Amino acid sequence: MSRSRLVPGADVVAVPGRGLAVRTPEGEFLSVRTADADQDALLSLLTGATAPPRDERLARLVRAFEEAGYLGEEPRTAPWPAARRDVRVLGDPVLTEPLAGQLTALGARPLTAPAAPGGARLTVEDLLDGGPAAVVWCLDGPVPDGLWDAADRLPGHGVAWLRCHREGWQAYVEPVAAAPGDVTSAHVRSRRLAATPAHRELAAYWTGPRTSGASVRLTPPAVTLLTALLADDLTRWATDAPAVSGLPARRRLRQVDLRSLTITEHPVLPVPEVAPMPRKDR
């Protein structure tokens, strides 16, 4: 078994005149009070270079690092589970082809296909054909009304559902929906309409027709960023990796400004079903 060492992202630095400080994975600096303990011996222990200390002062400091979460066993990358390896990738090739390459490198087995062969709408049976563990749908444009209705039913069949689309210079990476009750594309649309005073205009933009100028072309850096976000979300779902920071993946809508590649996270919750209006007896 490998010796414990500083977790990735944690560093210890010697500050002139102030002793040691730890830079946490979150980017904060914390002072380390070593008292009269041997600092060089402590640094050797924190890198896993020496055996556990016999000196109680050093042992106490090492335990403090462990309890704070800055010390652990050497991390191992979790492999992509075989049961979740098959991923159906639908949509526009400008996004699906690089995404498939990233997923393959991570251990998945992507199957790419057009969004809707022959212009027909896909049914949930079409999407479930072949038994994929997950379905990803990428659009280089707004989502036509009803296009994702069938896919929103995938979590109820035990299939993870992830999607992204572009609206002008803004792209949206929607939450992973992996179980009944997770956020669907219909929920995202409802929440976005409820959050803007321009809900009529947004609804009209979605339904079209739209008069546009020169088309927006996704740059290679923008494509890489969008597909990396999708691949990372899928990997974390497949390997059950814990959340690192920020909003939970199943409750997070990310907006990407394609001009500056700035990512903004928004919390999003499922929309509860509305109870039917009671009938009045006459």
Over the stretch 238-275, which tens digit does the pLDDT of each residue have? 999 877 777 888 999 999 999 999 999 999 999 987 65
Instruction: Mark the ranges of the chain whose per-residue pLDDT is less than 70.
Output: 1-4, 51-53, 74-77, 114-120, 274-282
C-alpha distances in Å from residue 230, one per residue of 38, 58, 92, 136, 226: 46, 44, 14, 8, 6
Please check whether residue 116 is in contact with residue 143, taking contact to mean a CB–CB distance below 8 angstroms: no
Domains: count for the chain: 2
Same domain, 35 and 167: no
Partners of residue 71 on adjacent β-strands: 6
Same domain, 67 and 95: no
Please check whether residue 169 is in contact with residue 216, taking contact to mean a CB–CB distance below 8 angstroms: yes
Same domain, 22 and 147: no
**C-alpha dihedral over 94, 136, 103, 249, to 10 degrees?**
120
User: In this structure, is residue 281 part of a structural domain?
Assistant: no
User: In this structure, is residue 189 part of a structural domain?
Assistant: yes
pLDDT at res. 280: 62
User: In this structure, is residue 276 part of a structural domain?
Assistant: no
Same domain, 141 and 235: yes
148: domain CATH number is 3.40.50.720
Give the residue from 35, 50, 72 where a domain finishes: 72
User: In this structure, is residue 142 part of a structural domain?
Assistant: yes
Q: Which residues contact 178 (CB under 8 A, 6 or more apart)?
A: 155, 160, 161, 237, 250
Give the residue from 37, 72, 107 where a domain finishes: 72
Same domain, 42 and 166: no
pLDDT at res. 281: 58
Give residue-wise pLDDT tens across range 149-187: 999 999 999 999 999 999 999 999 999 999 999 999 999
Which residue segment(s) compose the domain that 259 sits in?
A: 82-267
Same domain, 11 and 114: no
Same domain, 98 and 56: no
User: In this structure, is residue 275 part of a structural domain?
Assistant: no
Q: Supply φ then ψ for residue 161, to 5 degrees.
A: -135, 120
pLDDT at res. 182: 96
pLDDT at res. 158: 96
pLDDT at res. 2: 45
Residue 254 in tokens:
């990310």
Same domain, 208 and 231: yes
Residue 11 in tokens:
């560093």
User: In this structure, is residue 274 part of a structural domain?
Assistant: no
Same domain, 148 and 17: no
Measured between alpha carbons, how far is 174 from 195 in angstroms, rounded to an integer? 16
Alpha helices in the chain (DSSP H): 39-46, 56-67, 93-106, 124-128, 185-195, 199-207, 220-239
Give me the percent of the chain exceeding a pLDDT of 70. 90
Same domain, 95 and 193: yes
pLDDT at res. 274: 66
Give the residue from 72, 93, 117 where a domain finishes: 72
User: What counts of helices (H) and strands (E) characterise the chain?
Assistant: 7, 12
Please state the pTM of the whole predicted model. Answer: 0.82
pLDDT at res. 265: 95
User: In this structure, is residue 278 part of a structural domain?
Assistant: no
Q: Which residues contact 106 (CB under 8 A, 6 or more apart)?
A: 80, 231, 235
